[in-house]
Structure 1
Amino acid sequence: MTAFASPPDWESPANDPNDETFGDVVEPTSLEDAGAYDAVLVGEPYDGAVIGRRGASEGPTAIREQLAGVKTHHFEAGPVRSVGDLGDLRTSGDVAAVQDDLEDATAVVHDLDALPVFLGGDNSLTVPNVTPLLEIGSVGAISFDAHLDCREVHDEPTSGTPYRQLHERGLDAFAVVGARQFETASAYARYVDRQGGTIVTAADVRRDPVAALERALEAVDGVDHLYVSLDVDALDATAAPGVSAPTPGGLASVDLYRGLFRVARDDRIAGVEVVECAPPLADGDRTAAAASRAVAHVLAGHTEGKR
């Protein structure tokens, strides 16, 4: 099985004793002890399947560095606590081999009594992150993404093929939130429609964020387990330039965060990932900062949902 690297030490950069940050509360942990936490972070520093610009292998470290300075207080959920960090999964080989190896490791993580939050890494990792859940019940996926990621696999999987692969493995329900006009082929839009999936465009979210998210949740109604994926390119390119394929016309940060908080409250939530954060492609820390706050909103929603 793919091994974990030692988890990093967390330290807060705050100089005000009242400013509790995630650097104060996230604790390095082992698999043996991880079940004691409400949520655990899992790094996946791999970008060998990226179709466009690479750099997402540096995402886990950058997200952690930014999250360490984010304050833990959420006005609805209160302070977020009980978060462990398992460290990074070591990966090597071609895309198909990495997917197979990681699937064994993520199956162990899914067996824990803690919500796994995977820090990618590229979108091909969605396949091993979700596949173990298909063995234990029906699964619905909500993908916050500018793209549909349901291309056919030809020579090998890519960051554009995960939901085609997962549908072939038995994914029960699927919704995309934040899809852009003129960013997908008509054939792939028809494919999602044939699978019974729901496409919620970025324009739909801008028009009515609450109604747009409810459409996505209706698409996964009735499944046993809910998996949530955030490709950071769901955000408008001005908010997240450091991604493989930045595109204009995307989600506003406030709408994305509201949506993530809402879905993380769902008692069926079984896993979350943040992928395609590529710090070398960004202007400073802007994209990693946006991604880290997405993680914070997920953790806050999960905290609220457990009450």
Structure 2
Amino acid sequence: MTPDWRLPWQGRVDALDGEAGWRWHQVVEPWQAGGRPGVALLGLASDEGVRRNQGRPGAALGPQALRRMLANLPVHRPLPLYDAGDVPCTDGQLEAAQDTYARQGAAVLDDGQLLLGLGGGHEIGWASYQAFSRSAAWAAGGSLAIVNFDAHFDLRLAPQASSGTPFRQALDHAEAGGRTVAYHCVGISAAANTRALFSHAESRGVRWLADDTLAAHTLPQHAEALAQWLQGFDHVYLTLCLDVLPAPVAPGVSAPAARGVGLEVLEPLVKAVAGCGRLRVADIAELCPPHDIDHRTARTAARLAWQIVSAWQAARDGGPAA
């Protein structure tokens, strides 16, 4: 970690409240192997995948913008919180950056931490999957469920890896290695995915929920079905692309959604996955600060990250999530 790692970790201090008034910026520490198990943040400062996928750039600035919004969040229950830094993507070398992220992420996982990735474009999906595939937990066996909250399948067939290819890469890798990996997308937009993508999703056994089926009155049935599906897997990877949200809520993304899934529906589903008791890896992708009006997207991303950590902690330690 560089000496300036603390720059985004600034915020309010309520000294008179003691530990009950602590916020994330007051407890975060640089990650070093051997610490108490908790949550470790690792950023992929890249928008090369977005550029290759013909999206608007700027997501490389996402990890630091997200840290600034995470800094002021409250600590409701003590939990070791670590910052493992950022992996930059330089000179368009996306594959090298993903490999470096995977190596560092695997080390974090083998240290007993929950890996929470900060994007960056959704090319972080392939990097996060690789991190888990190289971990001791994956080497010990078991099946993996990938739950992607996203308007897009990200199953593109392309000559180069991009932000649109990570889950095709993951499914191909699992198939080649004879491992059980299942993929479930929540928030898919029929208007944002071609017939070819739907056909490929069907051929690979992908499950999905369309954005226009996700509403307050359908939330209980979808949450129950998702929870039941997750029971069939030993490990869970949760990945959240911020373009699953409506554009007024999340304007600062690579491809803003014309419809999206409202936060009041998305958040309970995210918490259900994070709190399943088998979450190993999570990440939040596509935060694009240059297009983020009033930091709306970064604030929403921080809230969702906080909910992921809270639900995961409640499942690990017992008791309700904050």
TM-score, length of structure 1 as denominator length? 0.89
**Aligned 8 A contact 2:33 2:111 in 1:** no
For 1:151-300, what aligned pairs fall within 5 Å after superposition?
151-154=156-159, 156-170=160-174, 172-206=181-215, 207-300=217-310
Residue of structure 2 equivalent to 1:31: 32
Deviation of 1:215 after TM superposition, in Å, equals 3.3
**Aligned 8 A contact 2:242 2:285 in 1:** yes
Of 209-218 and 255-264, more deviation after overlay is shown by: 209-218
Residue of structure 1 equivalent to 2:121: 122
Distance in 1 separating the partners of 2:183 and 2:219: 18
Deviation of 1:252 after TM superposition, in Å, equals 1.2
Question: Structure 1 residue runs of 4+, over 6 Å off?
Answer: none
1:101–1:83 distance in 2 versus 1, CA, 3 Å: closer
List runs of 5+ in structure 2 lacking aligned partners.
Answer: 175-179
Deviation of 1:16 after TM superposition, in Å, equals 7.3
**Aligned 8 A contact 1:198 1:216 in 2:** no
1:5–1:227 distance in 2 versus 1, CA, 3 Å: farther
Deviation of 1:290 after TM superposition, in Å, equals 0.4
**Aligned 8 A contact 1:41 1:84 in 2:** yes
Residue of structure 2 equivalent to 1:131: 130
2:206 counterpart letter in structure 1: G
Distance in 1 separating the partners of 2:205 and 2:26: 44
**Aligned 8 A contact 1:106 1:129 in 2:** yes
Work out the number of aligned pairs and report it.
296
Deviation of 1:14 after TM superposition, in Å, equals 4.6
Deviation per residue, 1:167-214 (Å, 9 max, x gap): 100161010011112110112112112221111112222141232233
Partner SS, residue 280 of structure 2: strand
List runs of 5+ in structure 1 lacking aligned partners.
Answer: 74-78
Partner SS, residue 32 of structure 1: coil
Deviation per residue, 1:222-248 (Å, 9 max, x gap): 222100000011111110000000012
**Aligned 8 A contact 1:141 1:220 in 2:** no
Partner SS, residue 284 of structure 1: helix
**Aligned 8 A contact 1:236 1:246 in 2:** yes
Partner SS, residue 89 of structure 1: strand
Deviation of 1:218 after TM superposition, in Å, equals 4.2
Residue of structure 2 equivalent to 1:76: none
Of 156-165 and 87-96, more deviation after overlay is shown by: 87-96
1:20 counterpart letter in structure 2: W
2:46 counterpart letter in structure 1: Y
Residue of structure 2 equivalent to 1:89: 87
Distance in 1 separating the partners of 2:126 and 2:172: 11
Distance in 1 separating the partners of 2:131 and 2:295: 33
For 1:6-21, what aligned pairs fall within 5 Å after superposition?
7-8=5-6, 10-15=9-14, 17-18=16-17, 19-21=21-23
Distance in 1 separating the partners of 2:78 and 2:69: 16
TM-score, length of structure 2 as denominator length? 0.85
**Aligned 8 A contact 2:87 2:100 in 1:** no
Distance in 2 separating the partners of 1:63 and 1:220: 28
Whichever structure has more helix as a proportion of its residues is 2
Deviation per residue, 1:118-152 (Å, 9 max, x gap): 00111112112112433523211000001110001
Of 208-217 and 38-47, more deviation after overlay is shown by: 208-217
Partner SS, residue 208 of structure 2: strand
Distance in 1 separating the partners of 2:169 and 2:209: 21
Partner SS, residue 294 of structure 2: coil
* Aligned residues: CA RMSD: 2.0
1:279 counterpart letter in structure 2: P
Of 259-268 and 233-242, more deviation after overlay is shown by: 259-268
Q: Percent same amino acid at aligned positions?
A: 27
